[in-house]
Chains A and B, each alone.
Chain A
Amino acid sequence: MELLQIKDLRIQFNTDTGIVHAVNGVDLSLQEGECLGLVGETGAGKTTTALGILDLIQTPPGKIVSGEILYKGRNIREMKPHEIRDLRGNEISMIFQDPMSALNPVIPVGHQIAEVIRLHQKCSKNEADRQMLAMLEKVRIPAERADEYPHQFSGGMKQRVVIAIALACNPKLLIADEPTTALDVTIQAQVLKMIRELQQEIHTSMLLITHDLGIVAQTCEKVAIMYAGEIVESGTAEDIFDRTAHPYTKGLFASIPSIDRKMRRLTPIEGLMPDPTDLPAGCSFGPRCPYVSDLCREHKPELQEIGAGHFCRCHFPSQKRSPEKEGQ
């Protein structure tokens, strides 16, 4: 059964410069125990989608305009505020991008972990402390540091504390919003490995938001590529990496340096993402697409299934033009 299913989610922000179409009809589904990578460049609407799942969009200026977010078959948008609060941190949890600011600077880290446990499990202070210490050990922070403040920890340790908070109540769904972006590369690998191990240990589904395809390759079974608030391609990791169909995805691969290909220069995708207040009428990737045609400029392509479970939002999905050739 699907743990999470998002259908046609649309989120807008009303700003002085116009309506920002941040998320435009996103469909996603996540099975139990599965790891889905949501990839896209900055401003593609990845974080907005994630916050939408937890109903944390600031209103105003933001608003979920339409769509359904089904968690275990129940629409989160129709839940009462206290029901959503019971879900947050307990069933659906989130790891934030910047561990420096995601922790309260005036509360010792141990208390911050215990707080979530006490919030969702009606248990005694001692029991919460016991679970908190177990959680700290799980993220390999010595228990005697529980009474220390966030500023006494390094960045990687702080992120491990955030992970401990997120996983303290054994959530069914973990949303990791660029969990390693604020960390340096060696720590990234370590933190990522830890998230992956813990995720498998407590059998949590994970939605991993990132712009790093390398991380996705290491971690995720399924991948969804997001562009200008839409899913442009989704499928299994093999579909995306070996049978790349959408020109944007190919562009992403072409802009990654490779150690086994000789390359003088990387091939970036020309241009910038369209202004979300003024999206093009046809395909939103059209203005940057090397294969753009009149059809693309006039008609928005639908997400179509081009292989079993492999979807692509393009009029000309091609599997023949392999990314290697494009990269030359």
Chain B
Amino acid sequence: MKRWLETRKLARKGEIRSVGKFSLMVRRFCRNKAAVASLVFILLLILIAVFADVLTPYDYDAQNLSEKLRQPSAAHWFGTDDFGRDILTRVFVGTRVSLLVSILAVGISTVFALVIGSIAGYFGGAVDNVIMRITDIFMALPGMLFAMTVSAALGTGIWNTAIALGFTSIAPIVRQVRASILLLKDQEFIEASKAFGSGNTVIIVRHVIPNAFAPLIVQIALRLGDTIMAISGLSFLGLGVQPPTPEWGNMVSVGKDYMSEFLPLILFPGIFVILTMLAFNLLGDGMRDAMDPRMKR
């Protein structure tokens, strides 16, 4: 006990190299340059989303028709749109909307999928069969079309868009969770845990889910990226977030009308969509590599 505590104390003081799992994870993560860059970009986006109102001197819906469709300049870095509104401000506020909706959507689907997928994978048999057949039905529907239908039924707006998109992401995550749990279920350490007297809840929460976490994290990050894309898609079609609330998708939608003569309105929101998606994907990969203690390098 004493020796162990001393080791811990020394480790905390930094006198010996700590073997804590978090520091190991961080060290492994930092070795992946693309993932670190993505993380920085996403953190930056979050800061932008939080401080969108104070970062630029303009209001996102203050119109100035005499200044409409101006090319980028010192006053308007990204130019102005068809109502003379500052595009930079609108892209920043759009960041807030996109991040909020995608985090809500993925949060909703992950919570549901984790519960449903764990039950299906762990208990198997008839329960599994029923759940997976229902999942198959949802998988058979084209995701975007399904989101559009739900969105049309629920109506537009931030919450409804999040629910619509969250709903469409449940099925693929359920499959992912179930697959990892099926793989884990027959591992000897699960049986060992049973033999040492653990109940089902302890086994699922302590042994199954943490082991299924690495693939789930990747899935979540990928889903966040996809959802960013889907929100923009829905808004582009007029089913997601409605003007005047700026959103990357509905900005691109307006921008396409002026595409031939005025590029900034479609270019800047488009770049943000793509970079955000890419960043989430790279972050997901980096996190997977870092979180898996079996990946020793």
To the question of whether A and B form a pair in one complex, the answer is: yes
Asked if B199 lies at the interface with its beta carbon under 8 angstroms from chain A, I say yes
User: Do the beta carbons of A151 and B207 come within 8 Å of each other?
Assistant: no
User: Do the beta carbons of A119 and B198 come within 8 Å of each other?
Assistant: yes
Asked if B254 lies at the interface with its beta carbon under 8 angstroms from chain A, I say no
CB distance from A312 to the nearest CB of B (A): 32
Residues of B within 8 A of A86 (CB): 197
User: Do the beta carbons of A102 and B293 come within 8 Å of each other?
Assistant: no
CB distance from A25 to the nearest CB of B (A): 24
Contact among B19, B195, B206 for A148, CB-based, below 8 A: B19
Residue of B nearest to A108 (CB): B21
CA–CA, A93 and B194, complex, Å: 10
Contact among A90, A102, A130, A146 for B192, CB-based, below 8 A: A102
Residues of A within 8 A of B207 (CB): 104, 107
Grouping DSSP codes into helix (H, G, I), strand (E, B) and loop, the B interface class, with mixed when no group exceeds half, is helix
Residues of B within 8 A of A98 (CB): 188
Residues of B within 8 A of A82 (CB): 199
CB distance from B4 to the nearest CB of A (A): 4
User: Do the beta carbons of A85 and B197 come within 8 Å of each other?
Assistant: yes
User: Do the beta carbons of A85 and B192 come within 8 Å of each other?
Assistant: no
Residues of A within 8 A of B194 (CB): 56, 88
Asked if A94 lies at the interface with its beta carbon under 8 angstroms from chain B, I say yes
User: Do the beta carbons of B4 and A101 come within 8 Å of each other?
Assistant: no
Residues of A within 8 A of B294 (CB): 105, 151
Contact among A105, A115, A120 for B293, CB-based, below 8 A: A105
B residues 146-203 with Cβ under 8 Å of A?
Answer: 187-189, 191-199, 202
What's the interface size class on B, roughly?
20 to 34
Asked if A240 lies at the interface with its beta carbon under 8 angstroms from chain B, I say no
CA–CA, A94 and B192, complex, Å: 8
CB distance from A178 to the nearest CB of B (A): 12
CA–CA, A38 and B211, complex, Å: 34
Residues of B within 8 A of A129 (CB): 1
**Given A107-B210, A119-B202, A151-B296, do A143 and B3 touch, yes or no (CB 8 Å)?**
yes
Interface size on A, residues (CB 8 A): 40
Residue of A nearest to B11 (CB): A147
CA–CA, A85 and B3, complex, Å: 34
A residues 111-144 with Cβ under 8 Å of B?
Answer: 115-116, 119-120, 129-130, 133-134, 142-144
A-B contact count (CB 8 A): 92
User: Do the beta carbons of A88 and B197 come within 8 Å of each other?
Assistant: yes
CB distance from A221 to the nearest CB of B (A): 25
User: Do the beta carbons of A143 and B4 come within 8 Å of each other?
Assistant: yes
User: Do the beta carbons of B195 and A54 come within 8 Å of each other?
Assistant: yes
Asked if A87 lies at the interface with its beta carbon under 8 angstroms from chain B, I say yes
Residues of A within 8 A of B189 (CB): 101-105
B residues 10-68 with Cβ under 8 Å of A?
Answer: 19-21
**Given A94-B192, A119-B196, do A106 and B4 touch, yes or no (CB 8 Å)?**
no
CA–CA, A129 and B1, complex, Å: 8
Asked if A62 lies at the interface with its beta carbon under 8 angstroms from chain B, I say no
- Binary interface profile of A, 304-319, with partner B (CB < 8 Å = 1, else 0)? 0000000000000000
Asked if B7 lies at the interface with its beta carbon under 8 angstroms from chain A, I say yes
Asked if A241 lies at the interface with its beta carbon under 8 angstroms from chain B, I say no
Contact among A101, A116, A130, A134 for B196, CB-based, below 8 A: A116
Residues of A within 8 A of B21 (CB): 108, 147, 149
User: Do the beta carbons of B1 and A133 come within 8 Å of each other?
Assistant: yes
CA–CA, A94 and B188, complex, Å: 12
User: Do the beta carbons of A120 and B197 come within 8 Å of each other?
Assistant: yes
B residues 68-96 with Cβ under 8 Å of A?
Answer: none
**Given A116-B197, A119-B202, A148-B19, do A106 and B191 touch, yes or no (CB 8 Å)?**
no
Contact among B19, B20, B196, B210 for A106, CB-based, below 8 A: B210
User: Do the beta carbons of A147 and B192 come within 8 Å of each other?
Assistant: no
Contact among A87, A102, A151 for B197, CB-based, below 8 A: A87
Residue of B nearest to A50 (CB): B195
User: Do the beta carbons of A133 and B4 come within 8 Å of each other?
Assistant: yes
Determine which residue in A90, A104, A105, A134 has the highest number of CB atoms from chain B within 10 A of its CB, and name it: A104
User: Do the beta carbons of B210 and A89 come within 8 Å of each other?
Assistant: no
Residues of A within 8 A of B206 (CB): 104, 107, 115
Contact among A87, A96, A108, A144 for B3, CB-based, below 8 A: A144
Asked if A163 lies at the interface with its beta carbon under 8 angstroms from chain B, I say no
Asked if A22 lies at the interface with its beta carbon under 8 angstroms from chain B, I say no
A residues 43-99 with Cβ under 8 Å of B?
Answer: 54, 56, 82, 85-90, 93-94, 96, 98
With A103-B189, A116-B197 given, can you name 5 additional A-B contacts, CB distance below 8 Å? A85-B199, A94-B196, A102-B192, A104-B207, A143-B7
Cβ contacts A to B, 18 pairs, < 8 Å? A82-B199, A86-B197, A88-B194, A89-B198, A90-B197, A94-B195, A96-B188, A105-B293, A105-B294, A106-B210, A115-B206, A143-B3, A144-B4, A147-B19, A149-B293, A151-B296, A165-B196, A166-B196
The 4 closest A-B pairs by CB, nearest first: A89-B196, A88-B197, A89-B197, A101-B188
